[in-house]
Structure 1
Amino acid sequence: MSTSITDTKDESDHGEKRDVHHSEKMTAELLHEAFDGENLEHELGVWEAAKKHPWACLWAFIMCFTIVMESFDMFLNTNFVALKYFSREFGVWDAAKKEHVIPTRWQSALFQSGQCGAFVGVFLSGPITSRIGYRWTTILALALINCTIFISFFAPSLAVLTVGQTLEGISWGFFIANSPAYASEVVPLALRGACTATLQMSWSIGSIIVAAASYGYNNRDNQWSWRVPTALQWIFPTPLLILVFLAPESPWWLIRRGRKEEALRSIKRLGDTNEEQAHQKLAMMERTVQIEALQGGSPTLLDLLKGTDLRRTIIICLMYASQNFAGNLIANQATYFFEQAGINTNMAFKLNLINSCLQFVANALAWFISSYFGRRTIYLWGLGFNITLLFLLGIIASVHQSHATNYAQACLGVVISFVFAGTQGPISYTIIAETSSVRLRALSTAVGRAGYYVAEIPMIYLATKMLNTTGWDLAGKCGYVWGSTAVVCWVTAYFFLPELKGRSYREIDILFNRRTPARDFKKTVITVEDNE
C-alpha cells in the first residue's frame, strides 16, 4: 500500500500549491475513519440511502431543476417555428407550400443562439465555481437569467430574439456545468445514478410545460401566441434562487477549500446526523481530496489535458457530444418533425405534448434502471435499440407515403425520444459526473458541456436543413443520418467507456491512475487501503 497520503507536502515556498489549505497529516486514526466511511458508503443500498438522506436528494433535485430553463427555451424556439402567427409575422412566403415559413438561416440562428451563449457560460462557470462554490455561482446565474428574459419577451424581430436567447444561454452554461457535479457530490454512492438522472427529468418537465403552453396558445392569431409562453420562463428563477440560497454547499468543495468545519455541518445537513458517521464521511472525503492534491496544485483548465485527466476529459466530452448524434435532435424539434412527417399542425402540437409526457415517464423509469444496471450496460443497450429504430424510421420514410406511413414516422419519433429519455440521456449525466476527478470536477463538467455545444451547434443546423422545406425536406429519412452517427457513438463507447457503478471517487481515481482498460474496470479489485 502506498503511504504517500500520510506525507506532508511543503507548501511554504512559492505560495499555495493546492486547494487544500491545511497541511496536517492523515493520521492512522483518521485513515481508519476514512476506511469506515467508505465501507459504510458501499454497504448502503438504494432504498436505505434514500430513506436516510432525503434532504440530500431534495437539494440535488433542486440544483438539477435549474436545467428546466435551458430545456424550456430550447423547446420553445422549436415550437415557435411551427406557430402560424409567428411564421406569418417573421417568416417569408413559401410558394411551393403556399404558406409563410421561417427561413432555414433564422431557424438555425434561433436554435443555436442559446447554445452559443451557453458555450461561453460553461467556460466562465468552471473558474467561478472553483472560486465561490456551486451555490453562489448558481445564484448569480439565476439572477442574470431573470434580467435577460426581458429581451426575449419584448423582442420586435428575429434579430433581437436571437440576441435575447444568446444572453439567456450564458446562464444555461452555469446551470448545466454545475448541476451534475453538485448532485453527484451531495448524495451517497448508491444514489448517484438516480439523482444525476433527474437532469434529464428536468428537461422533460421543461418540454411538458412548453408543449402545454404552445398547444394552448397555438390557435391564437396574435403576438400573445408566442409572448405568453416566453413570459412563463419567469416562473422559475426567483423561487429557485431562494431554494439554492438555503441549500448546503457541497462538502467536497468545502474540503477542497480547507473549510472542514463547514464541510462537517454540510454533511450533517445532507443526512448524516450521527456524529461518528459524519466524521467518518468527512475523513473519507478528506482522504480522497488529499490523494488528488498530491497530484497537482490549484486546478486549471490545462490540468484537464495532463496525464490520466486527459483520458477522463475525452470520455466526458464524448458522452456529452454523443447526445447530439443519436437522434435526440428529433425530440428537440418534435413539433416541427411531426409536421414535416405529414401530421397537421394541431395534431403535431398534441403529439408533442404526449411525447414530452412519455419522456417524463421514461426519466422516472431511469431512476430504477440506473440503480440496478451498470452505466455502460444501460448506455450500450439503449443506444443500440435506438440505432435500430432510426434506420427503421428512414426505411418507412423512403417508401410510398400515405396516412399510415405518416403516423408510423411520428410514432417512431416518439419511441426514439422515449428510449433516449430512459437510457442514454440520463445515464450520460451520471457517467459525466462520476468520470471527473474531485479536484477538477467543476472544470471537467464545464469543458465537457462545451464539447456538447461544439457538436450541437452544427448538428442543429444539419437537423434544420434536413427537415425544413426550404432545405433538404427529408422528414423521416433523417433516420439514416442519425442512425449512422449513432453507430459511431456505439462503437466508440464499446471500446472506451468504463463501468463506474458502485465505485467510490477514490476507487475511480485509482482505476484511472493505473490506466485500467475500459472493459476491465468492472472486474478490477480495489481494496479500501489502496491509496495510489
Structure 2
Amino acid sequence: MENPKNEKTDVDFIESVEQTGRLANQGEHELTPLKAIRDNPWVMLWCIYAIWMLILNSFEGQAGGAVLGIPEFRKDFGYKYKDSYVLPVDWQAAFSGAPVASACIGSLGIAYLADKVGRKWAYALALVFSYVGITLEFVATTSPIFFAGKFMNGFAIGALVTVSFTYIGEITPTVLRGIVSSAAAVSFTLGPFLVALIIKGTGTLESRWAYRSTFVAQYAVAAIGTIFLPFMPESPWWLLSKGREAKAAKSLKKLGYSPSEIKMRIGQIILTLEEVKSETDGATYLECFRKSNLRRTGIAIAPFLIQTFSGIYFAASYSTYYYQLAGYSTSESYILQIVQQVISMIGNIMSWFLVERFGRRPLMLYGLCFLTVDLLLTGGLAVIGTPGALKGTCSLILIYCWSYNVTIGAVSYTLLTETATSRLRVKTIAIGIFTQNALNTMWAFVLPKLFNPDQANLGAKVSFIFGGLALLSCVYLWVYQPETAGRTYKELDELFAKKVPGRKFKSTKTEAEMEGEQVMELKQQELAYGDNAGR
C-alpha cells in the first residue's frame, strides 16, 4: 500500500514543477533580445560553437562545387574539349551528388544516435567521418578516390546540420531563437567565402595545390571543432528526456544559469516534455507522421524544400563556372565568387534584425516573391544571349544571393528548428535535411546535363525551371505558413494540438500564456505581501 505522505510529496513536486514551468514560460516573454544576450553569454558562446561546426559543413559543400571552376582540377580529372578541359558529365554529377546522397543517410542516422547517446557524441562521430573524407579528397589522384572522399564527407554534412540546429533550438531563449538560428545560416556563406578566398590565392597554380590547398584548410576548421568538443555542455532537453535531472542541472550551470534559473528552466522543460508525451510516444520517425505531428513535420520541412525549389543549388554550386562561360576570365570569376559570398553574408546579417521584427511568414512569402521575379528575369536575359545580357545574368545571380540570404535562406532554418515538437525535434530536422538533400541529389545529376556546354547547354536559362517552382511555392506559403515568432515551445505545442489555422497563429491567445500571466501575477502579489509584512 502506498504511503499517503509520499503521495502528497509527489503531488507537491508536480505542482511545483508546473508552477515554475509556467513562470519560466511567462518570463521568456518579458525578455528583450539585448537583455537575453547579456544574461546568457555562455549560451551565446556555445551557439557560436554550433555555428562553427556548420562552417565545416558549408566549407565542404562549397569546396566540392568550387573546384570545378579550377582549370588544374579539370585538367587532372577531366578531358580536353575544344580549347579547355571539362569533366566527364557522369563524374561531375557523381562528385556533386555523392555528398548530397550520403548526407541524406547521415542526417537520418545521426538523429537516431543523437537521441540515444546525446548531441555531444553525435558531433564526435560526425568529425570522424569528416577527417576520413578530407583525407581521401586530399590524396586523390583518380576520380574514384575523390568520389569516395566526397561520399564520406557527405555523412558529416548531414550529421553536422542536423545536430547543430537541434542544439541551437534547445539551448537558446525564445526571444533569441529566430535571431540565432538565422545567424547560424551565416555559416553557409562564411564557409564558401573562405573557400573563395583560398581559391583566389591558389586556383591559378599549375599544380595539384591549386585545389588541394582547399582541403588542407578543412583540417584546420575540423581541428578547432574537435578541440572545444570535450567542454561542450550536453543539451538539457535531451538529458531531461532521459530522466537525468542532476546532469541537466549541471549542464544548465555550464550554460551560465543561476540556481534559481536552473530550477525554473528544468520545470519549463519537464512541463513541455510531459504535455507532448501523448502525441510523441516512442519518439520514432513514424511518430513524426502521426496525429498533429504530421502537420508540424510538413510545415517544418516545407521551407527547407522551398530553398531547393528556388534554385539555390545552381547559384551555390555552378556560379563560378557560369561566370567563366558568361565571358569572365578565370581570375575574374574567382573575384565574383568572393563578391557573391560577401553579398550573401551581408544579406544574412540583415536577416538577424528582421526575423523578429517582421516575423517568419512575411520574410518567407515576400522574399520568395522577389526571388521568383529575379529568376524569371535571369532566364529572360539568358534567352537574349548577347554578351551584355549574359553579364546581366551574372548581376541578377548576385542580387539573388543577397535577397535569398535576407529571407528564405535564413528563415527556413528558424522554422525547421522551432516548429518541430520538443521530443521529435532532432528527427524532424533530420527529415528536413534528408528531403532537401534528396532533391539536391536529383539536381546534382540533372543540372550538369542541362547546364554544361557539351550537353543541353541551357546555361542560365535553367532559371525558368526554378522560377516556375518558386511561383508554386509562393502559393503554398500564402495558404499554409504560420507565424511562429515570439512563441515558446509550450505555446506552439498548444496551437498545433488545437489545429489553429496557420494565418491565425499570430493573433491567437494560448492557455499557456494565460496560465503564465496568472502565475506571474500571483508571484508579484506574494512578493508585495512579503515586502509589506517585513515593514
Residue among 355, 366, 376 paired with 2:340: 355
Partner of 2:511: 527
Q: Distance in 2 between matches of 1:133 and 1:506?
A: 22
Partner of 2:528: none
Partner of 1:408: 392
The alpha-carbon deviation at position 530 of structure 1 amounts to: 7.3
Q: Kindly indicate whether the alpha-carbon contact (under 8 Å) linking 1:384 and 1:490 is maintained by their aligned counterparts in 2.
A: yes
Q: Kindly indicate whether the alpha-carbon contact (under 8 Å) linking 1:103 and 1:470 is maintained by their aligned counterparts in 2.
A: no
Partner of 2:22: 35
Partner of 1:340: 325
Alignment of 1:115-514 (within 5 A): 115-273=100-258, 275-329=259-313, 330-402=315-387, 404-514=388-498
Identity %: 26
- DSSP-derived class of the 1:252 partner: helix
The alpha-carbon deviation at position 25 of structure 1 amounts to: 7.6
Q: Distance in 2 between matches of 1:26 and 1:519?
A: 38
Q: 1:387 to 1:195 in 2, by over 3 A?
A: same
Q: 1:400 to 1:179 in 2, by over 3 A?
A: closer
| 1:69 maps onto 2:53 in alignment | no
Residue among 59, 76, 82 paired with 2:69: 82
Q: 1:515 to 1:467 in 2, by over 3 A?
A: same
Deviations 1:408-436 (A, max 9, x none): 11111111011111210111010001111
Residue among 53, 73, 96 paired with 2:40: 53
Partner of 2:526: none
Q: Kindly indicate whether the alpha-carbon contact (under 8 Å) linking 2:280 and 2:423 is maintained by their aligned counterparts in 1.
A: no
Partner of 2:6: none
The one-letter amino acid of 1:60's match is C
TM-score (norm 2): 0.91
Q: Distance in 1 between matches of 2:448 and 2:53?
A: 27
Q: Kindly indicate whether the alpha-carbon contact (under 8 Å) linking 2:62 and 2:316 is maintained by their aligned counterparts in 1.
A: no
Q: Kindly indicate whether the alpha-carbon contact (under 8 Å) linking 1:78 and 1:336 is maintained by their aligned counterparts in 2.
A: no
RMSD: 1.7
The alpha-carbon deviation at position 456 of structure 1 amounts to: 1.0
The alpha-carbon deviation at position 463 of structure 1 amounts to: 2.7
- Aligned pairs, number: 505
Higher helix share: 2
Q: Kindly indicate whether the alpha-carbon contact (under 8 Å) linking 1:327 and 1:416 is maintained by their aligned counterparts in 2.
A: no
Q: Distance in 1 between matches of 2:406 and 2:489?
A: 25
Q: Distance in 1 between matches of 2:246 and 2:136?
A: 43
Greater Cα offset, 340-349 or 34-43: 340-349
The one-letter amino acid of 2:33's match is V
- DSSP-derived class of the 1:244 partner: helix
Q: Distance in 2 between matches of 1:530 and 1:38?
A: 10
TM-score (norm 1): 0.92
Q: Distance in 1 between matches of 2:374 and 2:280?
A: 46
Deviations 1:381-426 (A, max 9, x none): 1111111111111111122502x32321111111101111121011
Partner of 1:6: none
- DSSP-derived class of the 1:500 partner: coil
Q: Distance in 1 between matches of 2:233 and 2:12?
A: 27
- DSSP-derived class of the 2:512 partner: coil
Q: Kindly indicate whether the alpha-carbon contact (under 8 Å) linking 2:490 and 2:512 is maintained by their aligned counterparts in 1.
A: no
Deviations 1:133-187 (A, max 9, x none): 1111102211331233111111121121111110111111111111111101101
Q: Kindly indicate whether the alpha-carbon contact (under 8 Å) linking 1:139 and 1:245 is maintained by their aligned counterparts in 2.
A: no
The alpha-carbon deviation at position 313 of structure 1 amounts to: 1.6
- DSSP-derived class of the 1:440 partner: helix
Q: Distance in 1 between matches of 2:496 and 2:177?
A: 19
Larger radius of gyration: 2
- DSSP-derived class of the 2:85 partner: strand
The alpha-carbon deviation at position 529 of structure 1 amounts to: 6.6
The alpha-carbon deviation at position 70 of structure 1 amounts to: 2.4
- DSSP-derived class of the 2:453 partner: coil
Q: Kindly indicate whether the alpha-carbon contact (under 8 Å) linking 1:46 and 1:371 is maintained by their aligned counterparts in 2.
A: no
- DSSP-derived class of the 1:93 partner: strand
Q: Kindly indicate whether the alpha-carbon contact (under 8 Å) linking 2:64 and 2:150 is maintained by their aligned counterparts in 1.
A: no
- DSSP-derived class of the 1:27 partner: helix
The alpha-carbon deviation at position 287 of structure 1 amounts to: 0.4
The one-letter amino acid of 1:47's match is L
Q: What stretches of structure 1 of length at least 5 have no aligned partner?
A: 1-22
